[in-house]
A and B are shown apart, each in its own frame.
Chain A
Amino acid sequence: MRANQKRLIVTVVVLVGALLPLLIPHGNAPSGSSFLDKIAANIKLGLDIKGGALLEYQMVTDVSKEEMSALADRVIEVLRTRLDAAGFTEATVEKITTAISFGEDIPPVRVRVQIPGITDVLRAESLVGKTGKLYFADVLAIETSSSTPSIPAGMSLEISKRKLQGGEPFWIKELHFGEYVNGVQNNNWYFISPRIAVGSSYVELDGSVVTEAKSLVNNQPRPGQGRFMVSLKFNSEGSRTFREITSVKSTYTDTDIRKRLAIVLDENVIIAPLVQTQISDGNAVIEGLNSLDEAKEVSILVGSGNLPVELSAFNKRVLSPTLGRDIINASLWAGIGGLILIMIYMLVIYGKMGIVADIALLYNGVLLMGMVSLTGSILTLPGIAGIVLTIGMTVDGNVLIFERIKEELRLGKTTENAIDSAFSKVVWTIFDANITTILAGIVLFYFGTGTVKGFAITLIIGVIGAMFTNIVVSRTVLTAMAGGIKPERYLKTKKVNEGREAR
């Protein structure tokens, strides 16, 4: 019996250890939410349940895997800055490196962005998905049109001159092209050249020279202009080029198109302000913005620098919280329904011993959730499948134990002896049978992608928990209630009614 006291202590300690991370609020539940909500917040839910966007990008480049990895780190830095600046602090950005390649074309290093609970995906994508290059450009013409304007007349000389320099001009849309502001659709097109004329020569300036961009309130706006502005800081190399550019551009009159300097991100002009003065110290301001949101957007896009490489979508999943809620409700029913059915089944088949199985089942359920919470594992939809499956598997060990006890009782042993010898014989069977499932789970964890990893986690934790529950907890409870199990029942059934025993 002393051994059983030890087992009882272990059982209680582990139970408390599992309950603590569940009951002590450590999640991100908003203050003032109910106790139950706080408990629920202790378990991290995957995007496939609570809704959100998962955006995975590959890098368009030919470099080696090692260089790609370094490149990805820089991409992550830029994306992190952009997301933080836009207020998506809960978002995660991570590098994905594939274990095995399944095709030469599959990029081995990728960048994954996860933004939980987001409803405005377009906005997130315009921040993250604005993948490409940031650069400054000359503006040659501006037009409003719903389709691409034709090449401006009288410009053929200018165009061929720039073409020779490798800066052939092209039409490009404004960032918010097609959107309505105060009922007016933005139809602005810019005819730009990525090479900027400085006297008779041309220079290029890309966004990597911008070291800082901040959105600010302008306390003395020019009459008729917006009250917001963006300040830019350039590095020393950028300052030099920027001085050359501004020294020329500032000399033109306000109506001269050449006075404008476009800031271009990918396929869009973010903004094309007029250059008012020569800027030598590398500190510039863009004035006259109409809203703080606009100023913020410009500063984020310009300030987080250009990505060192172009990104293209590898996969994207966007899920509304509505669907997630529906899914989790359905899965809860599956779990509760399965739990109740199995508990009834065990009671019907094994009588008093069935109570032990049911206790073990609930115990392992708490243990599993506690471990998920403690390890900070993310519960995904397939993860819930893993939990439901664990419910079915926990009783398996008990079935093996009970059948063995019955066998021992039939040999005429006392209940206590039967329990002891049954356990000593069945421990390794339970171990072997479960370890195979754990092995499969580990392989799945290693190779599984995305949410399927969540399944591997709950399966592995669940099966280990089931082993512990069966070998330690069930034995404790069984030994404690050994007096209630009548050996005669099994002896008698065997002798009197052989046929009916087999179910």
Chain B
Amino acid sequence: MSNFLSLYADRMIKAIGTHFTYVIASVSIAFVVAVFLGILFSRKPSWATVVIPLLSVFQTIPGIVFIGVLFLYLGMVPATVLIALSIYAIFPILKNTYVGIIEVPMQYKEAAKGCGMSPMQVLFRVELPLALPSIISGLRISTVYTVSWAVLAAMIGLGGLGELIYAGVSSNNNALIFAGAIPAAIMAILFSTVIDLVRKKLIPKPLRGDGK
């Protein structure tokens, strides 16, 4: 074990750092864009009926293809990974934001309007707080996926934990596979746990629903 650590510790720490940065950066970009678009679509449901099915079709394109194609156009730069990961991360958040807002019961919105709230106030004080459980679920799905997709960054030589896994798989070095796979798994589980905690903190019990 100590031998293993002395061999790979430096590489592992560097890879974990890169991986973590990819995930945080792309999920943050995705979150901002997705919540904005989700709100926009909830104002214009007719757009959503066109765009949301299109996005689901788009979502069936495997991540490797997207990173690969962007790589051919943009070359081996971190932007390739960030763009690809962000685009993938947008969809679950966007969909959950949209559905969350749309599913706020009519009577709450009516009541808010009846209290004299402006459309902006209805959005920020009624709709978004009620849609929050759904939005955070979307965020959790996106983050876990992104940890997974970020492994692919290594395919185009841009580091992250995938690099160790690839090197291990192609040189038949089991220790290297573990050195990449275990931190990646732990990172995904940690992100998921932290987001669950945030969810518990932010959302009062009656609004949490049964699911995660």
Partners in one complex: no
Interface residues of B (CB under 8 A from A): none
